[in-house]
Amino acid sequence: MLVFLPRLAASVAAILCSLSFLASHLSAADQKLPVVFEDGFEQGADHWQPFDARQWEVKKDGDGHVYSQHVKQSAYKPPHRSPTNIALLKDVIVGDMVLDVQVKSTHPDYGHRDACLVFGYQDPAHFYYVHLGAKTDDHANQIFIVNDAPRTKISTKTTAGTKWTDDWHHVRVVRKVKDGTIEIYYDDMDTPCMTASDKTFAWGQIGIGTFDDTADYDQIVLRGTKVEQQK
């Protein structure tokens, strides 16, 4: 298993190390995207807005802290079938982006054991997300769009399933607005495990969480082009 950065307490050295490692695994074009946000949760989670705050907590883990979505059932009711256990990054809206995250699934294993990353989020009825599920079907282990309707898969490539363990995993989302590119990477940063092409949403927030399970998150680095929210 590849882990893109040992989970250390926040420090200048750790930040520089993480950025150097990430840059070495990015394409030349993606390396040009500036870092617009990073978080290791050593100062809390004030930058995040959960759909249901009761589900989330910052907790001690080893030498540092993580953001833990530790309660499975959410009080949030989406307008359309879509993930309920999400925390959005506040006040950062991007177009082109590369999102790197360490994720640890904390749910017992079963067919739909999952974690989700949200991007292009404009409002509760308009966004993309990737569902990293243990077994693939039309509603699991796919890239989805929520466009004022229940989530619809838009994946052009996926795998038989995401091989969750109880360890940390490195997940990356690449979004290129002009040609609609969406690429998802899981541990292997050279070959995407999922792809899609869609131009519906050209900007939005990012988010972390699960569809209806539990997971911990750490060492989030967002590169991208900041944009103003469109009316």
Residue ranges with strand state E in the chain? 35-39, 48-50, 56-61, 64-69, 85-89, 94-105, 114-123, 126-133, 143-147, 152-153, 155-157, 169-176, 181-186, 194-197, 205-210, 215-226
The residue that leads in pLDDT, 76 or 27, is 76
Phi–psi pair at 50, nearest 5 degrees: -70, 150
Question: What is the pLDDT, as a whole number, of residue 14?
Answer: 47
pLDDT band at 13 (very low <50, low <70, confident <90, very high): very low
In this predicted model, what pLDDT tens digit does every residue of 111-147 receive, in sequence order? 999 999 999 999 999 999 999 999 999 999 999 999 9
Tokens of 95: 């177009």
Question: What is the pLDDT, as a whole number, of residue 231?
Answer: 57
- Rg over alpha carbons for the chain, rounded to the nearest Å, is 16
Query: Rounded CA gap, 224 and 174, in Å?
Result: 10
Identify whether the C-beta of residue 107 lies closer than 8 Å to the C-beta of residue 113. Answer: yes
Least confident among 7-21, 33-47, 109-123 = 7-21
CATH 2.60.120.560 given to domain 12-226: yes
In this predicted model, what pLDDT tens digit does every residue of 206-224 receive, in sequence order? 999 999 999 999 999 999 9
For residue 169, is pLDDT > 50? yes
Domain boundaries, the chain: 12-226
Tokens of 58: 């910052």
197: number of Cβ within 10 Å: 14
Question: What is the pLDDT, as a whole number, of residue 11?
Answer: 38
Count H helices, E strands: the chain? 2, 16
For residue 32, is pLDDT > 90? no
Query: Rounded CA gap, 172 and 188, in Å?
Result: 9
Percentage of residues of the chain with pLDDT beyond 90: 84
Question: What is the pLDDT, as a whole number, of residue 228?
Answer: 80
Percentage of residues of the chain with pLDDT beyond 70: 85
Question: What is the pLDDT, as a whole number, of residue 137?
Answer: 97
pLDDT band at 27 (very low <50, low <70, confident <90, very high): low
The residue that leads in pLDDT, 18 or 75, is 75
Closest CA to 61 of 90, 19, 104, 18: 104
Tokens of 181: 């590119």
Query: Rounded CA gap, 186 and 1, in Å?
Result: 10
In this predicted model, what pLDDT tens digit does every residue of 47-61 receive, in sequence order? 999 999 999 999 999
Strand partners, 94: 204, 226
pLDDT band at 9 (very low <50, low <70, confident <90, very high): very low
Tokens of 162: 């995401």
Query: Rounded CA gap, 115 and 175, in Å?
Result: 18
